[in-house]
Amino acid sequence: MSVLKTVKRVTTHVLYEMKLKREKIAMLTAYDYSFARILDEAGIDVILVGDSASNVMAGYETTLPITLDNMIYHASSVVRGVKRALVIVDLPFGTYQGNSREALASAIRIMKETGAHGVKLEGGEQVAESVERILSAGIPVMGHLGLTPQAIHKFGTYVVRAKEEEEARKLMEDAALLEKLGIFALVLEKIPAKLAGEVTANLKIPVIGIGAGPQTDGQVLVLHDMLGINQEFSPRFLRRYHNLYAEIKGAVQTYINDIRTLNFPSEKEQY
Ligand code: KIV
């Protein structure tokens, strides 16, 4: 029987069981109550309150400007819309790197003020101390390796990561280290499918891919990209399931036209 058949609430343990039974994990981002509710009712397993909110909600070019207060606002809105999915929140840039005490304080704020179920952070060995300290408080941590957008100014571009042997080997080592420290799942972003397959096979924890091929234990996409709300972003890995930009624009244009032509409100739409 499918792991999900008997599950009222997705937990980190459920994801682990899904990996064991080779059931794929479906994850999407969300940043507000209304979308979170739709995703949850549709049966999504994990909702990530991603720092991609910095791009798709706030219009910044990178994920760097978003603050912990901003993330807490988005995450608490999402949590209010969710009954079943596991809700994970990105620790934003500057709230966990280089200072594990600050990392723990940031993670505690997220857990206390949002009601979310865990945090995600980017990086391997360089954030090991922060990961350990957050885990020591009983807060589930999801890792993120490969293309880590908070380090965009170090990389210089958003191209595929770990194509060269040395970077691939380092990524494998970081993944093994994070698992050893006790993270419950790992996101791999924009790396070769073969490498993602190897990491997935080597780890006991679930691995969720974005632009990392089909062999990972699950997939994640940014909601606004897969719904076609965000038109500017078209990487090869993105599948658009809708063209909401055009649909919403069309609806707004019809509304404007209805007002101008005295078609709205009609007799039925007044008191
Ligand atoms: O912030 C985000 O949306 C993410 C996903 C791309 C995994 O980290």
Residues 14 and 34 in one domain: yes
Q: Is the CB of 122 under 6 A from ligand 1?
A: no
Q: Is the CB of 77 under 6 A from ligand 1?
A: no
6 pLDDT above the threshold of 90? no
Report the mean per-residue pLDDT for the chain: 97
Q: Is 167 a catalytic residue?
A: no
Q: What is the pLDDT of residue 249?
A: 98
Q: What is the pLDDT of residue 232?
A: 83
> Residue 229: which CATH number?
3.20.20.60
Residues 251 and 189 in one domain: no
Residues 250 and 149 in one domain: no
Q: Is the CB of 200 under 6 A from ligand 1?
A: no
Residues 248 and 225 in one domain: no
| Ligand 1 centre distance from Cα of residue 52 (Å) | 6
Residue with CA closest to ligand 1 atom 1: 50
| Token output for 185 | 């799942």
| H, E, C per residue of the chain | CCHHHHCCCCCHHHHHHHHHCCCCEEEEECCCHHHHHHHHHHCCCEEEECCCHHHHCCCCCCCCCCCHHHHHHHHHHHHHCCCCCEEEEECCCCCCCCCHHHHHHHHHHHHHHHCCCEEECCCCHHHHHHHHHHHHCCCCEEEEEECCHHHHHHHCCCCCCCCCHHHHHHHHHHHHHHHHHCCCEEEEECCCHHHHHHHHHHCCCCEEEECCCCCCCEEEECHHHHCCCCCCCCCCCCCCCCCHHHHHHHHHHHHHHHHHCCCCCCHHHCC
| Ligand 1 centre distance from Cα of residue 255 (Å) | 34
Residue with CA closest to ligand 1 atom 2: 50
Q: What percent of the chain has pLDDT over 70?
A: 100
Residues 189 and 82 in one domain: yes
Residues 122 and 250 in one domain: no
Q: Is the CB of 208 under 6 A from ligand 1?
A: no
Q: What is the pLDDT of residue 1?
A: 85
Atom of ligand 1 at shortest range from CA of 122: 8
Task: Name the band, by pLDDT with cuts 50, 70 and 90, for residue 231.
Answer: confident
Residues 193 and 87 in one domain: yes
5 pLDDT above the threshold of 90? no
Catalytic residue among 129, 166, 173, 189: 189
Range of the domain at 69: 3-240
Q: Is the CB of 27 under 6 A from ligand 1?
A: no
Q: Which residues lie closer than 8 Å to 67 by C-beta, 6 or more apart?
A: 92
Amino acid at 254: T
From the list 126, 124, 149, the residue with the least C-alpha distance to 51 is 149
Over residues 134-193, the pLDDT tens digits come to 999 999 999 999 999 999 999 999 999 999 999 999 999 999 999 999 999 999 999 999
Residues 154 and 264 in one domain: no
Amino acid at 148: T
Query: In degrees rounded to 5, what are phi and psi of residue 58?
Result: -100, -15
Average pLDDT over residues 241-263: 98
Residues 107 and 232 in one domain: yes
Over residues 19-70, the pLDDT tens digits come to 999 999 999 999 999 999 999 999 999 999 999 999 999 999 999 999 999 9
Residues 69 and 196 in one domain: yes
Over residues 109-140, the pLDDT tens digits come to 999 999 999 999 999 999 999 999 999 999 99
Q: In this structure, are residues 209 and 216 in contact, taking their beta carbons and an 8 Å threshold?
A: yes
Residues 191 and 227 in one domain: yes
Long-range (24+ apart) CB contacts under 8 A made by 251-254 are: none
Residues 175 and 114 in one domain: yes
Number of domains in the chain: 2
Q: What is the pLDDT of residue 107?
A: 98
